[in-house]
Structure 1
């Protein structure tokens, strides 16, 4: 469930400078919520904050750095705001088999996709519980429902987010605070391009009917959070894919994934 908007309440949205994060920020703004826009790109955040109006605040932060995450609550409080909705959307991926991985890059992924989620939930959820109002939206992936050869660390990180949020949701029962996991399938955001999987390459592995636009994903995400859903998978095709990913025996699923995943072509 979503708390009512207020003049002092704010929704930190991480990874807000582009893609799903930007669209979730826009969707929340349309519904009257104040925003703390969090990402590394200061110029992009300020441009977005200017576009969204005076209730949107740019809070540039490198979430892969523990010291920067630790400073975020104080920076938001200094604006005279308290956190009502936390959106942990920031994330990254690496591509290729573990045998050829860069250890530093893998650990940066864990810091951003796993540690930042735990860190920010641990810092902001206690205040929500004390006030008896709030919501958490943690962004995972359809890949959270099964291992991903060629993106092993990414798939495992998203599985962590899904499991963590299920447990958090149960812990929060009766507190007035809710938690949900967003598990999108393929989305046209340029995210894959950053790790070497351009959309045209990804479409060879994932058919066009599975792809969603980021504004659609954002709307479905906020609607799902408002409705109190535990897991939000935008698109009927992706909900089927998530179920198959979860239920198919691993001895059958993993060889199929390994044959088609672009990350395995580097092995």
Structure 2
């Protein structure tokens, strides 16, 4: 991969691992092939791309890597168990990279958005509308969060996009893991949307 890019005369100075997709269904009902592809895109690809291009950045003594994690990396994700686990991997992987890269001139950090107005839920089925039922951030907001963090004098390993998302993560840390999982099960329950509709 690295050689193919070099052969085309491209000098890589930065990498943004943004590609990803998820599924929304109880784990036992999800298609195993779809889940395998999800892991390949959300976990394997960022690792392979980072392995391909990070050595060149370190040799040059500058550059940056931004990995897209998710608020789901911090929270249990019923009906999105593999996606949440994949993003938890991305978060942990990036935090470790950040530590290893200190003093090299290369920056690495993870951006964790929550519900954002993109096509992420396309093809997930009608139940996935529960994921976009609240206030949505815009893609531009996420980009601004990432760039503002990059511009800091000493950016940390992670940044969460949006005040409400930061509060959600903070609140989850004050709960037991059991309580956090049960709370997220209610948040991701498609039935809560129909239950909130006024009777006719």
- TM-score bracket for this pair, using the shorter chain length: 0.7 to 0.9
Q: Does 1:192 align with 2:140?
A: no
Alpha-carbon spacing, 1:77–1:197, altered in 2? closer, same or farther (3 Å)? farther
Structure 2 counterpart of 1:104, from 33, 38, 42: 33
Q: Does 1:226 align with 2:145?
A: no
Structure 2: distance between partners of 1:197 and 1:117: 29
Superposed CA offset, 1:186-228 (max 9, x none) = 1001212332368853344xx32xx211112112212212222
Structure 1: distance between partners of 2:141 and 2:110: 16
Where does residue 215 of structure 1 map in the other structure?
A: 140
3-state SS of 1:136 partner: strand
Please state how far the C-alpha of 1:75 moved relative to its aligned partner. Answer: 3.3
Give the stretch that moved more between structures: 211-220 or 155-164.
211-220
3-state SS of 1:82 partner: coil
Q: TM-score, normalised by structure 1?
A: 0.66
Structure 2: distance between partners of 1:97 and 1:263: 12
Where does residue 112 of structure 2 map in the other structure?
A: 183
3-state SS of 1:185 partner: coil
Where does residue 256 of structure 1 map in the other structure?
A: 183
Structure 1: distance between partners of 2:81 and 2:60: 39
Superposed CA offset, 1:137-179 (max 9, x none) = 0001011002201100000000000000000010001111010
How many residues align? The count is 190
Structure 2: distance between partners of 1:107 and 1:200: 23
Aligned-residue RMSD, C-alpha: 2.0
- Whether the aligned pair in 2 keeps the contact of 1:245 and 1:253 (CA below 8 Å) is yes
* Alignment gaps of 5+ in structure 1: 1-70
Please state how far the C-alpha of 1:263 moved relative to its aligned partner. Answer: 6.7
- Whether the aligned pair in 1 keeps the contact of 2:66 and 2:109 (CA below 8 Å) is yes
* Alignment gaps of 5+ in structure 2: 193-200
- Whether the aligned pair in 2 keeps the contact of 1:165 and 1:181 (CA below 8 Å) is yes
Q: TM-score, normalised by structure 2?
A: 0.87
Structure 1 counterpart of 2:168, from 217, 233, 241: 241
Give the stretch that moved more between structures: 251-260 or 102-111.
251-260
Superposed CA offset, 1:104-150 (max 9, x none) = 11110000000001111111111111111110000010110022011
